[in-house]
Structure 1
Amino acid sequence: MFRYCALLCLLLTSGVTAAEPDQLRLATFAADITIPLGHRCMGVLPIKAQRIEDPLEARGLVLLGSGKPVVIVALDWCEVRNGAYDQWRDQLATAAKTDRNRVMVCSLHQHDAPVTDSGAQALLDSVGMQGELYDVAFHADCIARVSDAVRTAIASAQPLTHVAASEAKVAQIASNRRVEYPDGRVGYNRGSRMDPKSAEAESDAGEIDPFLKSIHFYNGDRELATLTSYATHPMSYYGRGGVTADFVGMARRRRQLDTEGSMQIYLTGCSGDVTAGKYNDGAPATRGILADRLYRAMVEAAAAAKRQSITEYDFRCGELQLPFHEGEEFTEEAMTAVLQDDTASEKARILAAMGLSSLERLETQPIDLPCLDLGIAQIVLLPGEAFVGYQLMAQRLRPDSFVMAVGFGESWTGYIPTKRAFDEGFGHSWRWVGRGSEAVIREQLTRVLAE
């Protein structure tokens, strides 16, 4: 007893703490974020939400105990952009008592789901188009409810002792937009659904990442959560008024039924140029077929998981200052003229507002490029519709490790083509970045993925 008291006095007087380092913990959370009827989908679709085919969800986890907490949340929404993206990160950071850049918010990019951009909606409000992009009050309520779910989850966080990284090949879902035609032409014409007899459907799949990747989190031998990611646009058919999480949501929910007590969180990989078009005819029944193929890969990846102990994690964050679109129609003057033209179509005015919001954002704030390093695996979140080439690039930069590259973080960029795609003339109204993006992304990926 005397020796114990003497040691305690020594610790107190020397300013040294006897506390052990915090044990790693994991909290998981989920909340409903289904849009109300009458809400616009994909930002510009002419048919607004008419019925709820299945709910939209926010699903995520919080890592605690090795530095400030890290939050990962996946939304069954099309995109979150600019000021709206910061609203999510700021409020979730407050809930988790961490920094904004340690909150990794990503969308799954289903098209029968909303696009949110606070700057764009404010511009639309100014020309009498209130609520045409999204419902601001509904958006705020979603953030508040997910933030509450984060606080509740942290209060009952579980010890995190092991992680595992695994993958499985996916059969007949992904195909690249890029098609080489028999006459030598190259076009980016393969959409999410194609006529099975078309040249686009009959052409080979092109550049894809054929593997579904999974990262598993455990308390002892009990699985707490699984992050699963696959690179493809998550649409079977869309634009008919039915709100849905589509085939990726179906596969995730089916897998959730298999794994009571383990949160299943699906993330969309870098897939700006990857769709299901080669294998999807757009028939309603095909949605279930695609879901089953994805589900089977989830099961196979889980069976291959081998636990390894974890005692710490690391977090790094780069910054991307991407160039803006080079076209004259994307100048501030041109987009302002379209926004203010009440004879222009709703779609054109909404796109103009989104472009103006993005241009303002570019001038004031770079894009964060966060990377969570679990030792055996790294999770890096890229912006917008980054092409699959960036996912493959990230894997090549760390050939010694397991890299999960996720897309659809900060999404003001729209499509982010590779240099090859730019050189081949890739063009689309949903692209706000310009040439030179690949070099910037490569430099920052190299930095955040470094050991």
Structure 2
Amino acid sequence: MTLPIPRITRRSAFGGLAALAGTLARSTVGGTSTVPYSLATFSADVTIPIGHPCMGGGIEPAREIVDPLLARGVVLIGADRPIVIVSVDWCEIRNDAFDRWRSALAEAAGTEPARVLVSSVHQHDAPVADLEAERLLEASGADASVCDPEFHEHAVVRVAGALREGLGSARPVSHVGMGSARVDGVASNRRYLLPDGTPSFGRTSATRDEYAREQPEGTIDPMLRTISFWDGDRPLAALHSYAVHPMSYYGSGGVSGDFVGLARSRRQEDDPEVFQMYLSGCSGNVTAGKYNDGSPENRLVLADRIYRAMVTSWDSTRREPIGDIGFRSVPLVLEPRDGAGFTMADLDDRLRNGPRGFDRCLAAMGLSWRGRCDQGRPIDVPVVDLGPALVVLFPGESYVEFQLLAQRLRPDRFVMALGYGECATGYVPTARAVAERDTNLGDWCWVAPGAEEVLSGVLAVGLEARG
């Protein structure tokens, strides 16, 4: 499916509000920067303790640490306030937890929260952070937990401290690099057709059904993209992004950065002087299911395929002098889901009387999102303009079609789409997925139908699409 390029209208750009009023700054396109820029890097361990919930209480809690979870980021420093981009090896960061990450890192960097792009990598043997949901669970007396607020605060403070320390080692930046490579044998869309032609959405991260695995990949973005920062001919940092759910096997309590974390670590070992980051693209409906049966040994196979694409993408890098870096953010308002099971009354009843702990956790996360919506707090959709390249952060589990749309909106630029920003939305599906009753939207989607039109319009404004 291909999303149409939206017409920029008052309604499509911001659901009836003035999206352009949310633009913070416009960039200078092309040319060499007249401002000296520098880059700081930072990394901190954010591994959850044994016993901490994984995936918001939906699977086994942490029983062993297979490999550490990391938060890794860069700070771009110039004439305007700094811009922070950080990837976190957590499943999701939602609502006031997301706000806490942005405010703490903004304070450490000397900037404002809107200029802090926090992206979860979305491994499942990792935490979901939603502090309001945890408060609701505690107040209701539910024997269930989404996250540990005390650990969460320690983790945020640790990352902010690493950022602050990293500022002291900032290096000049003169060039931005762009590279890409096709990834073979990793991504496939959840959607495939049954023998009678009806759609199924059952191709999960680990798929053992042979028929489902034999079907075509479906709609994916096959390219891994790399943006790098350089001091002359000396590389400083590389940011890699690819759209796939980053799970090989999970659910038994083995905390891990999974195959993308292994690929990132292997790439870091290649050249310790070049800081490596991995960020997940828009992959709400993209998994490794066609190529993964969930066997533990397949984690290394998938890691090797991502690693090889990182190397090829790096080798294809072209450098351009960095232009005047621009930043803008457009507010996004997505209406809360309000059908059966998602009304305030239904969610409150499920919080108190749900048959499983995870039912109560899901209700608490739904109520947390509803509370945000009732307060009129929009989601920021930020765009970092590096001149020849654009970086845009999407909310939640946005479907891959939105990433492909972003590239079509700006064919003149190298567009890197990041998913799993403000994750309170859960899945952000296309209209077709809603119409076809995508079964993945059952519990982990908190936005009402119509999200495609609104998000597409906001995206068009944020990327300054023409025509």
- Shift in Å, 1:104: 0.2
Match of 1:258 in 2: 270
C-alpha offsets along residues 335-370 of structure 1, whole Å, 9 cap, x if unaligned?
Answer: 1111122x6210110000000000111222000000
Match of 1:147 in 2: 160
Q: Contact 2:53 / 2:61 at 8 angstroms: preserved in 1?
A: yes
Give the secondary-structure state (helix, strand or coil) at the position aligned to 1:446. helix
Match of 1:61 in 2: 74
Counterparts in 2 of 1:147 and 1:131: CA distance versus 1, 3 Å: farther
Give the secondary-structure state (helix, strand or coil) at the position aligned to 2:42. strand
Give the secondary-structure state (helix, strand or coil) at the position aligned to 2:391. strand
Amino acid of the structure 1 residue aligned with 2:379: I
Match of 1:82 in 2: 95
1:361 corresponds to which of 349, 372, 380: 372
Give the secondary-structure state (helix, strand or coil) at the position aligned to 1:420. helix
CA distance in 1, matches of 2:330, 2:274: 31
CA distance in 1, matches of 2:102, 2:303: 30
Matched residues, percent identical? Answer: 50
Higher mean C-alpha deviation, range 122-131 or range 74-83: 122-131
CA distance in 1, matches of 2:142, 2:87: 29
- Shift in Å, 1:264: 0.4
- Shift in Å, 1:22: 4.9
Q: Contact 1:273 / 1:388 at 8 angstroms: preserved in 2?
A: yes
When the two chains are superposed, the root-mean-square deviation of aligned CA atoms in Å is 1.3
- Shift in Å, 1:30: 0.2
Match of 2:27 in 1: none
CA distance in 2, matches of 1:318, 1:66: 22
Equivalences for 1:163-174 in 2 at 5 Å? 163-174=176-187
CA distance in 2, matches of 1:313, 1:403: 15
Match of 2:206 in 1: 193
- Shift in Å, 1:395: 0.5
CA distance in 1, matches of 2:397, 2:79: 31
CA distance in 2, matches of 1:125, 1:173: 40
Give the secondary-structure state (helix, strand or coil) at the position aligned to 2:289. coil
Moved over 6 A (4+): none
- Shift in Å, 1:327: 1.8
Equivalences for 1:380-391 in 2 at 5 Å? 380-391=392-403
Counterparts in 2 of 1:373 and 1:48: CA distance versus 1, 3 Å: same
CA distance in 2, matches of 1:268, 1:25: 25
- Shift in Å, 1:437: 0.5
Match of 1:352 in 2: 363
Q: TM-score, normalised by structure 1?
A: 0.93
Match of 2:145 in 1: 132
Amino acid of the structure 2 residue aligned with 1:132: S
CA distance in 2, matches of 1:146, 1:46: 26
- Shift in Å, 1:428: 2.1
Amino acid of the structure 2 residue aligned with 1:232: V
Structure 2: gaps (5+ residues): 1-32
2:324 counterpart of 1:332: no
Q: Contact 1:66 / 1:313 at 8 angstroms: preserved in 2?
A: no
CA distance in 2, matches of 1:292, 1:357: 39
CA distance in 1, matches of 2:242, 2:91: 16
Counterparts in 2 of 1:234 and 1:118: CA distance versus 1, 3 Å: same
2:105 counterpart of 1:92: yes
Match of 1:41 in 2: 54
- Shift in Å, 1:45: 2.6
Match of 2:233 in 1: 221
Equivalences for 1:412-431 in 2 at 5 Å? 412-426=424-438, 427-431=441-445
Q: TM-score, normalised by structure 2?
A: 0.90
2:259 counterpart of 1:247: yes
C-alpha offsets along residues 213-263 of structure 1, whole Å, 9 cap, x if unaligned?
Answer: 000101111111011000000000100110000000000000000122111
Match of 1:438 in 2: 452
CA distance in 2, matches of 1:225, 1:443: 32
Structure 1: gaps (5+ residues): 1-19
Equivalences for 1:2-21 in 2 at 5 Å? none
Match of 1:17 in 2: none
- Shift in Å, 1:44: 2.3
CA distance in 1, matches of 2:373, 2:264: 35
- Shift in Å, 1:129: 4.2
Give the secondary-structure state (helix, strand or coil) at the position aligned to 1:333. helix
Match of 1:117 in 2: 130
Equivalences for 1:386-401 in 2 at 5 Å? 386-401=398-413
C-alpha offsets along residues 56-114 of structure 1, whole Å, 9 cap, x if unaligned?
Answer: 00000000004110000100000000000000000111111111110000100000000
Aligned residues: 430
- Shift in Å, 1:131: 7.3
Q: Contact 1:23 / 1:311 at 8 angstroms: preserved in 2?
A: no
CA distance in 1, matches of 2:191, 2:338: 22
Q: Contact 2:427 / 2:445 at 8 angstroms: preserved in 1?
A: yes
CA distance in 1, matches of 2:186, 2:215: 14
2:423 counterpart of 1:411: yes
Give the secondary-structure state (helix, strand or coil) at the position aligned to 1:215. strand
CA distance in 2, matches of 1:274, 1:428: 17
Give the secondary-structure state (helix, strand or coil) at the position aligned to 2:55. coil
Higher mean C-alpha deviation, range 106-115 or range 255-264: 255-264
Match of 1:14 in 2: none
Amino acid of the structure 1 residue aligned with 2:273: G
Match of 1:370 in 2: 382
CA distance in 2, matches of 1:66, 1:227: 23
Give the secondary-structure state (helix, strand or coil) at the position aligned to 1:184. coil
Amino acid of the structure 1 residue aligned with 2:197: G
2:316 corresponds to which of 289, 304, 313: 304
Give the secondary-structure state (helix, strand or coil) at the position aligned to 1:183. coil
Amino acid of the structure 2 residue aligned with 1:443: G
